[in-house]
Amino acid sequence: MSIGNEMYELARELFPIDRSLTGDGVRQTLAILKRELPHLTLHEVPSGTQVFDWTVPQEWAVRQAYIEDEKGNRVVDYKQLNLHVMGYSTPVDRWVELDELKQYIYVQQGQPEAVPYVTSYYTRRYGFCMSERQRDSLKPGKYHMVIDSELFDGSLTYGELILPGTGEKEILISTYVCHPSMANNELSGPVLAVALAKTLAKQSHRKYTYRFIWIPETIGSITYLSQHLADMKKRTVAGFVLSCVGDDRTYSYIPTRKGDTLADRVARNVLSFHYPEYKKYTFLDRGSDERQYNAPGVDLPVCVVCRSKYGEYPEYHTSLDDLSVISPEGLQGAYDVYMSMLNALEHNGFYRIKCLCEPQLGKRGLYPSVSKKGAYDAVKSLVNFIAYADGEKDLIDISNIIGVPISQLIPVIAKLTEADLLECIDA
Amino acid sequence: MSIGNEMYELARELFPIDRSLTGDGVRQTLAILKRELPHLTLHEVPSGTQVFDWTVPQEWAVRQAYIEDEKGNRVVDYKQLNLHVMGYSTPVDRWVELDELKQYIYVQQGQPEAVPYVTSYYTRRYGFCMSERQRDSLKPGKYHMVIDSELFDGSLTYGELILPGTGEKEILISTYVCHPSMANNELSGPVLAVALAKTLAKQSHRKYTYRFIWIPETIGSITYLSQHLADMKKRTVAGFVLSCVGDDRTYSYIPTRKGDTLADRVARNVLSFHYPEYKKYTFLDRGSDERQYNAPGVDLPVCVVCRSKYGEYPEYHTSLDDLSVISPEGLQGAYDVYMSMLNALEHNGFYRIKCLCEPQLGKRGLYPSVSKKGAYDAVKSLVNFIAYADGEKDLIDISNIIGVPISQLIPVIAKLTEADLLECIDA
Amino acid sequence: MSIGNEMYELARELFPIDRSLTGDGVRQTLAILKRELPHLTLHEVPSGTQVFDWTVPQEWAVRQAYIEDEKGNRVVDYKQLNLHVMGYSTPVDRWVELDELKQYIYVQQGQPEAVPYVTSYYTRRYGFCMSERQRDSLKPGKYHMVIDSELFDGSLTYGELILPGTGEKEILISTYVCHPSMANNELSGPVLAVALAKTLAKQSHRKYTYRFIWIPETIGSITYLSQHLADMKKRTVAGFVLSCVGDDRTYSYIPTRKGDTLADRVARNVLSFHYPEYKKYTFLDRGSDERQYNAPGVDLPVCVVCRSKYGEYPEYHTSLDDLSVISPEGLQGAYDVYMSMLNALEHNGFYRIKCLCEPQLGKRGLYPSVSKKGAYDAVKSLVNFIAYADGEKDLIDISNIIGVPISQLIPVIAKLTEADLLECIDA
């Protein structure tokens, strides 16, 4: 089974779980991920913990929730689609007339068939979500609004996996597990993180340590940073927020605030070869945990590389973002891009040619022996790499300048290193 | 009465006065300005004073000047239009034939109705200006050229107004009062300077000291700089030459020689929001006192923000540049742009958000409590300002990056400061 | 006779000589150049000498070489066209059938009339070159392949001419003399170098020392650098590889690896005025000795300014690159550009105006005495030069900014220096 298919099957398994910022849905999700990655560790942070300017919220649980009409027909039911209940709804058990009911119903403007995803984490209220079409078809009469939910002091749950490398520096992979049944946003990120972690765990050598985290969005990254910031600032050379990495329509990139960190540079380099038409957003288009990682004073070099960006595809934050939006091919494409980026980072460095003037490649069988028009072209990548290997530009720079993907330069580096013509000066 | 109307009325009052580089016309003009700005001080610099590479010229006075035909008809008369006499003309009282007369007549090529504005400050000669149409209609015969002028050791006069601020740094506003009866160039600059000074004088708090000067062009700025350069180099953070700020056709900007001083940055920022189609000239297009302020070794950060730039509108330097070229609306537009720039400068600084990660805006009522598609948009300016408030970019930078005028960020800064979330690090 | 004609006649004289990397053809060529430039010195470097990663090759001599058919008709003959024999061919004397013969014949794909230029310097083999048309017209039968050549320990020959200047810094002019009978590539370079050296030798004052070298390509520059690198790194401010400077179709420029050295800056400046449509290549398009001069660790500021660049014109590296490709006009154009560049370099420096504010040009007769519309234009170059003469931008910068060729600024500098208004601060 291809890695794309494995990711898709895992997403399918996770899809129905009732996730929110906190609660058993998150725990069930992380338990399944732990089955895939036995070294994953789970962490609980108590409600009320102060995390920078925020407070870890109460835990939310829903036993059942529905709207019933006078005949006992369930208009909507949380058990059928967890998007029907506004996230963090307080309990309610009331009979109301249609007009009043409508005050508690959220619909998606302009998408009559879509049930929107709505939350109210930090203000106590309750509400239901349904399609505009369904709301407009409701007949006058009495309706029974039931949300059997509980908000209580519990904890916020997150998962963490550290894959140690030989050096002190590390790469952050951050994704989130707080969304109920939506696929591209956000099961694609968690399953891609699992696939990357599995592949990296099998590698015999890693220059970098990899820090993977599966957290609730916003409050999760703030909580995690409040615990780990000093260490992460010291170690992190690049990081990526994995979100919306499962469809097959395009590739997208959102830079860091600073715009030219190692994470940005490797992302732009790899995407420019993999999918030259990728969409370049600006930091003004940010929206997920890159907001926290790039906040002033936090300043971690974390950017976003995704497929169709959150907020930019029609199914976003509605019931239409289901398993048909993502595909094994879409997930595989994201996996390939991420592995290319991580590989490029592992091989990146400041290379320097060890002899003065061009080396005599001919005597080493690396150059055509007959000089005629066109002969030079055949070894262009090799001679161009040599021409720029001055110890001042890193591999990403050279790849950009000479227009050759890093994946094609890695064997060139191997040949030249073997011929004792090249050294890497890590800076 | 609107400020635009006040400026226009003052220009109308000043219009007929016979101004030149020196002399009583300048003094009458400055006396009227002093009526508006009682703290204005007048300064006299004696003829012959050495000012850098130049010498303050003699004072010039004209009692009367005209050309008369044989029948005693006045062909042109200085009393009717002071542009008819070349500035700094030496005295003459001669009867000549038409052919010889024509050697002393200057006309405006290509504008048959316009009387040109011509001077000869540093070479002794005399001359008359008239419209091409009038010159070509002169009949053969004798003409009496009379210029009852005097060149004598007197002084160069200028006005200065200092509005002290709380800090040591200052802003220069420089304009000139040496042009005879022309409106956009140059009564618009002097009356705008008066309006700005009045407004600033009323403000309860000024971070910057404001140095306003009303001088003759070129020799005036050289003279003033020869007296004040060391002090101005130490204090000046930004300066503007006010010239051609009264018509209503466009806005224009001429950068400093260095091109990226604080003056340039605030000018480009304000104009990009106020009138995005404004004309960007280069320093090669300079022509007024910015030439002196930007000279090598002087190096003051002084640029030009104007309406239709000198040399770029058809009425320029002719009798057509009369009170119909400028308007209350044109002057008001320039006033608004200048006040926006000065306000932006007063509030400019390096702002830094005081908490790590995004602040919890919801609990302070600064953020929508329901998270649904589009909610984020409503507070975009606020969250974007926070995201960039890293203490490394100043307010102008942030305004440029997030695309929000500084006038809209000032209340955002107030809110965040009040919530104790923001500090300003002045650098 | 114009310099263009002189260059052309010298190229005509050199054309038939049997040049290669080494050997008597090079020596005959240099002997003729020495007749033109008596101070030229000739140098011999023994075969087998280690030069960085390379070894100076054996010397190659050809007494005769041809293909004959059974009737004794010479199909091709080295004496008629030296391109018919692959450079550095080993000896052969064999009768073969047509099919086998064809294995030793090189033709130019897509150019049926052209005899290609082919070499095999570092792998021992033999071969013949002919036009595709000729090869395809060969009839079945036996053919006699004869190459009476010798490869033996001898030496590599090059010529050098040093024209001392008053300062310590120097300019490198490098060209090559290893190509058999081809005109644009490469007799144009050697004859242009001769013309430049003659002109410079006659000049009474040179700020820079000029180092001219006539070498075999690649191995020659590597050899020369292995002998002179330390000294050249200390002294060289700019250098140029002269190659393909004889046709009349365009001008071309290949930057250094760093892209913004003094050589690059003067090349772009001069070409932008001389021929604004010149072709800008990148360092990826390099191909001649600039490869060695720009190699990491060598890092000499050497770029290429040529007419139609090697590899980019149809006759390149074939028998079609004959004396009809180059012309006196083509060579003269290159000479003019090079002299403009060298002149610009001789006058380049950081100029600073000595007075504060604009100087009073009127009293020195450098400014029109009547101020009227348009008067300012007449002295634009002068006042613009003054405005930017701040001691921080060099002459090339100022020329670029104000859009005036350096050749027109040199007299401006002279006038201002004479008036004691300008100083040059060499940095």
Chains that touch A (3 or more CB pairs under 8 A): B, C
Residues of C in contact with B225 (CB under 8 A): 356-357
Give the pLDDT of residue C202. 97
Contacting C with CB below 8 Å, chain A residues are 352-353, 355-360, 362-363, 369-373, 376, 384, 387-391, 401-403, 421
Give the pLDDT of residue A363. 87
Does the pLDDT at position C49 exceed 60?
yes
Residue C128, beta-bridge partner list: C85, C105
Tracing tokens 């290379």 back to the chain, one arrives at A351
Pick from C351, C354, C356, C357 the residue to mutate for testing the B interface (most B CBs within 10 Å). Answer: C357
**Cβ contact (<8 Å) for C369 and B222?**
no
**Cβ contact (<8 Å) for B116 and C387?**
no
What's the rounded Cα separation, in Å, for the pair C218 and C226? 12
Closest-CA distance of chain A to residue C295, Å: 5
Closest-CA distance of chain C to residue A168, Å: 30
What's the rounded Cα separation, in Å, for the pair A259 and A304? 11
Confidence of residue C363 (pLDDT cuts 50, 70, 90): confident
Give the pLDDT of residue A367. 81
Sign of the alpha-carbon torsion through B104, B106, B107, B109: positive
Residue A294: Cβ within 10 Å count = 27
Q: How many Cα neighbours within 13 Å face the side chain of C379? A: 19
A129, B195, B271, B309 from B332: Cα distances, Å? 52, 10, 15, 17
**Cβ contact (<8 Å) for A357 and C298?**
yes
For residue A418, give both structure tokens. Answer: 């073997």
Residue B198, C-beta contacts closer than 8 angstroms, at least 6 positions apart: B36, B37
Contacting B with CB below 8 Å, chain C residues are 352-353, 355-360, 362-363, 369-373, 376, 384, 387-391, 401-403
Residue B227: Cβ within 10 Å count = 14
CA-nearest residue to A390 within chain C is C296
What's the rounded Cα separation, in Å, for the pair C226 and B190? 70
Phi and psi dihedrals of C99, rounded to 5?
Answer: -60, -40
Closest-CA distance of chain A to residue C97, Å: 24
Alpha-carbon radius of gyration of chain B = 25
Average pLDDT (A65-90) is 97
What's the rounded Cα separation, in Å, for the pair B422 and B387? 12
**Cβ contact (<8 Å) for B357 and A53?**
yes
Residue A149, classed as helix, strand or coil, is strand
Residue B253, beta-bridge partner list: B280, B305
- Quick one: DSSP state of residue B234? H
Give the pLDDT of residue A372. 62
For residue B93, give both structure tokens. Answer: 């009282």
Phi and psi dihedrals of B323, rounded to 5?
Answer: -65, -10
What's the rounded Cα separation, in Å, for the pair B321 and B185? 7
Cα angle vertex C285, ends C282, C289, to 5°? 110
Tracing tokens 């220096």 back to the chain, one arrives at C417
When CB atoms are compared, the residue of C372, C376, C389 closest to B296 is: C389
When CB atoms are compared, the residue of B52, B108, B257 closest to C356 is: B52
Give the pLDDT of residue A377. 65
A385, C124, C334 from C53: Cα distances, Å? 17, 19, 34
Residues of A in contact with B388 (CB under 8 A): 257, 296
Give the pLDDT of residue A371. 66
Contacting A with CB below 8 Å, chain B residues are 352-353, 355-360, 362-363, 369-373, 376, 384, 387-391, 401-403, 421
Pick from C20, C21, C53, C256 the residue to mutate for testing the A interface (most A CBs within 10 Å). Answer: C53
Ramachandran bin of C362, using left for φ above 0, alpha for ψ from -120 to 50, beta for the remaining angles? alpha
Q: Contact, A366 vs A412, CB < 8 A?
A: no
What's the rounded Cα separation, in Å, for the pair B151 and B61? 7
Does the pLDDT at position A320 exceed 60?
yes
When CB atoms are compared, the residue of A356, A359, A360 closest to C298 is: A356
% chain A with pLDDT above 70: 97
Q: Contact, A269 vs A261, CB < 8 A?
A: no
What's the rounded Cα separation, in Å, for the pair B46 and B65? 26
Cα angle vertex A393, ends A389, A398, to 5°? 70
B102-160 pLDDT, tens digit per residue, is 999 999 999 999 999 999 998 999 999 999 999 999 999 999 999 999 999 999 999 99
Residues of B in contact with A295 (CB under 8 A): 353, 356-358, 387
Closest-CA distance of chain B to residue C266, Å: 22
What per-residue string of b and e applies to A257-271 under the rule 16 or more CB within 10 Å gives b?
beeebbbbbbbbbbb
DSSP code string of C307-366: SSPTTSSTTTTBTTSSTTT--HHHHHHHHHHHHHHHHHHHH-SEEEESSSSS---GGGT-
Residues of B in contact with C372 (CB under 8 A): 106, 116-119, 317
For residue B125, give both structure tokens. Answer: 């000669």
| Averaged pLDDT of chain B | 96
Residue C54, beta-bridge partner list: C51
Give the pLDDT of residue A376. 63
Q: Which domains does chain C have, with CATH numbers?
A: 3-57+155-347 (3.40.630.10), 61-152 (3.50.30.90), 350-426 (1.10.10)
Q: Contact, B137 vs B94, CB < 8 A?
A: no
**Cβ contact (<8 Å) for B387 and A53?**
no
Pick from B353, B355, B357 the residue to mutate for testing the A interface (most A CBs within 10 Å). Answer: B357
Confidence of residue C368 (pLDDT cuts 50, 70, 90): confident
Q: What is the dihedral of CA A132, A136, A140, A146, to 10 degrees?
A: -10
| Averaged pLDDT of chain C | 96
Tracing tokens 């002068």 back to the chain, one arrives at C382
**Cβ contact (<8 Å) for B118 and C370?**
yes
Does the pLDDT at position B68 exceed 90?
yes
For residue C364, give both structure tokens. Answer: 């020195």
Residues in chain C, how many? Answer: 427
Does the pLDDT at position B287 exceed 80?
yes
- Quick one: DSSP state of residue A423? E
Confidence of residue C365 (pLDDT cuts 50, 70, 90): confident
**Cβ contact (<8 Å) for C357 and B119?**
no
CA-nearest residue to A370 within chain C is C120
A297, C218, C236 from C289: Cα distances, Å? 50, 6, 16
Q: Contact, B331 vs B246, CB < 8 A?
A: yes
| Averaged pLDDT of chain A | 96
When CB atoms are compared, the residue of B116, B122, B291 closest to C358 is: B291
- Quick one: DSSP state of residue B181? S
DSSP code string of A93-111: EEEEEHHHHHTTEE--TT-
**Cβ contact (<8 Å) for B353 and A297?**
yes
When CB atoms are compared, the residue of C357, C372, C390 closest to B106 is: C372
- Quick one: DSSP state of residue C243? -
Residues of A in contact with B400 (CB under 8 A): none
Residue A149, C-beta contacts closer than 8 angstroms, at least 6 positions apart: A60, A61, A62, A63, A65, A85, A89, A90, A91, A126
CA-nearest residue to C53 within chain A is A359
A234-259 pLDDT, tens digit per residue, is 999 999 999 999 999 999 999 999 99
When CB atoms are compared, the residue of A355, A373, A389 closest to C52 is: A355
**Cβ contact (<8 Å) for B317 and C355?**
no
Cα angle vertex C158, ends C156, C162, to 5°? 150
B346, B384, B402, B409, C245 from B406: Cα distances, Å? 11, 13, 10, 5, 56
Confidence of residue A134 (pLDDT cuts 50, 70, 90): very high
For residue C280, give both structure tokens. Answer: 């800008």
CA-nearest residue to B374 within chain A is A311
Q: What is the dihedral of CA C28, C29, C35, C41, to 10 degrees?
A: -90
DSSP code string of C214-230: EE-TTHHHHHHHHHHHH
CA-nearest residue to A123 within chain B is B369
Average pLDDT (C98-107) is 97
Give the pairing of strands C422-425 and A236-242.
unpaired
| Of residues C60, C62, C58, C10, the one with CA closest to residue C35 | C10
C78-89 pLDDT, tens digit per residue, is 999 999 999 999
For residue B247, give both structure tokens. Answer: 């018509």
Residue B246, classed as helix, strand or coil, is coil
What's the rounded Cα separation, in Å, for the pair C328 and C307? 13
Residues of B in contact with C376 (CB under 8 A): 287
Does the pLDDT at position A42 exceed 80?
yes
Does the pLDDT at position A427 exceed 80?
no
* Choice between A73 and C378, residue whose per-residue pLDDT is larger: A73
Residues of C in contact with A360 (CB under 8 A): 53-55, 122
**Cβ contact (<8 Å) for C296 and A372?**
no
- Quick one: DSSP state of residue A132? H
What's the rounded Cα separation, in Å, for the pair C344 and A164? 59
Confidence of residue A373 (pLDDT cuts 50, 70, 90): low
Contacting A with CB below 8 Å, chain C residues are 52-55, 86-87, 106, 108, 116-123, 125, 218, 221-222, 225-226, 229, 257, 283-284, 286-287, 291-292, 294-299, 311, 316-317
B241, B301, B395 from B338: Cα distances, Å? 11, 16, 17
Confidence of residue C51 (pLDDT cuts 50, 70, 90): very high
For residue B6, give both structure tokens. Answer: 């006040």
For residue C211, give both structure tokens. Answer: 């180092």
DSSP code string of B189-217: HHHHHHHHHHHHHH-S--SSEEEEEEE-T
